[in-house]
Structure 1
Amino acid sequence: MIKTLKIEPLTKEAFAPFGDVIESVGRDHFMINNGSTERYHNVGEVQLDEDGKGIISIFRAKMLEYPLQVKMLERHPFGSQSFIPLFGHEFLLVVAPVGDGTMNIDPETVRCFRANARQGVNYHRNVWHHPIMALRDDDEFLVVDRTGPGNNCDEFFFDDSIKMTVELD
């Protein structure tokens, strides 16, 4: 099978099966701090199992080579994982639905999104996704995820007969 993934704009509606889009546009908000700050409340849900705890990290990513052959996806069974760009650059996301709980991914369900410079994402638990896809070298992301006991990273490698690529516009 040969498939070129179409890069879709990242919208709340299109990304809903995979998680949350973290952005202020179109979100409910209210004033706090004596009227000096607008709070965009609950733009994503941190999902944790009973044994884990939430942590905040910074990831510094290199730009991958494009066209990119998608050879694998990963998922986190015990907690969600959020990526918020710190330098305000666009980045790409390749995702597949949670599925039936097995270690199988239907290549026909794999999608690709482009986050604009003002968006982050929150992958829900068990959502398959490609490791970070920065579009610039040394781009940094604030990451909110889980630490704790257990292996919280499953990896799925596509069979060599499946050729999925992402080409930049």
Structure 2
Amino acid sequence: MRTIPIEPMDEVALRPFADLLAAPAAGPRQDHASPIENRRAGVSANLALIRSEPFAGLMPLTRLERHPQSSQAFLPLAVDSYLVVVAPDRDGRPDEAAIRAFRVPGQAGINYRAGAWHAHLMTVLAPGTFAMLVHEDGTPEDCVFAAIAPVTLSAG
């Protein structure tokens, strides 16, 4: 089984898959911090609360997911740190050879781009709570899963 190292957050490396949502550098508000994508007319936004479990109990990873028609934002409400696992697309599937994992501090959110392959949300040390925003209508276009060869994540 392959092991993927958990890297420190790298905003530039993450950019093809998602935007990091951090506190505004100046001023009380940062408008349009990241694009909210919805490629399906008439599909409403779903603001959900998500409880996430630590990654150690969720290994190995055996699948990735993507939301082909919508961005998906996660905003930590009570989280120390969490993991973002991404892979580029290769012929409609995740490129397993290019999977990367990043440790994100709990005061920063993430907004996956529509169609970006990613793993389910996992905290690092303790369970956490997130607000999640995605456009869904209950059809198969909401979320697509792809099985991958099992991988584990390693902090070093």
Q: Does TM, normalized by the shorter one, top 0.5?
A: yes
RMSD across aligned positions (CA)? 2.0
Equivalent in the alignment of 1:123: 112
State how far apart, in whole Å, the 2-side matches of 1:78 and 1:9 are.
Answer: 29
Equivalent in the alignment of 1:80: 71
Gaps of 5+ in 2: none
Superposition pairs of residues 66-77 of structure 1, within 5 angstroms:
68-77=59-68
Higher radius of gyration, 1 or 2: 1
Equivalent in the alignment of 1:35: none
- Percent of aligned positions that are identical: 25
What's the TM-score once normalised by structure 2's chain length? 0.87
Q: Which letter does structure 1 place at the counterpart of 2:7?
A: E
Residues 67 and 47 of structure 1: is their aligned pair in 2 closer, same or farther, counting only changes over 3 Å?
closer
Residues 45 and 99 of structure 1: is their aligned pair in 2 closer, same or farther, counting only changes over 3 Å?
farther
- Once the two structures are superposed, what CA deviation does each residue of 1:79-131 show, in whole Å capped at 9, x if it has no partner? 0101111014100111112334x2x2221111001001211111111111111
Offset of 1:11 from its aligned partner? 2.9
Gaps of 5+ in 1: 31-37
Moved over 4 A (4+): none
Aligned length in residues:
154
Tell me which protein shows more strand as a share of its residues. 2
State how far apart, in whole Å, the 2-side matches of 1:54 and 1:98 are.
Answer: 25
Offset of 1:165 from its aligned partner? 1.4
Superposition pairs of residues 1-169 of structure 1, within 5 angstroms:
2-24=1-23, 27=25, 29-30=26-27, 38-51=28-41, 52-65=43-56, 68-100=59-91, 102=92, 104-148=93-137, 150-151=139-140, 152-158=142-148, 162-169=149-156
Q: Which letter does structure 2 place at the counterpart of 1:92?
A: L
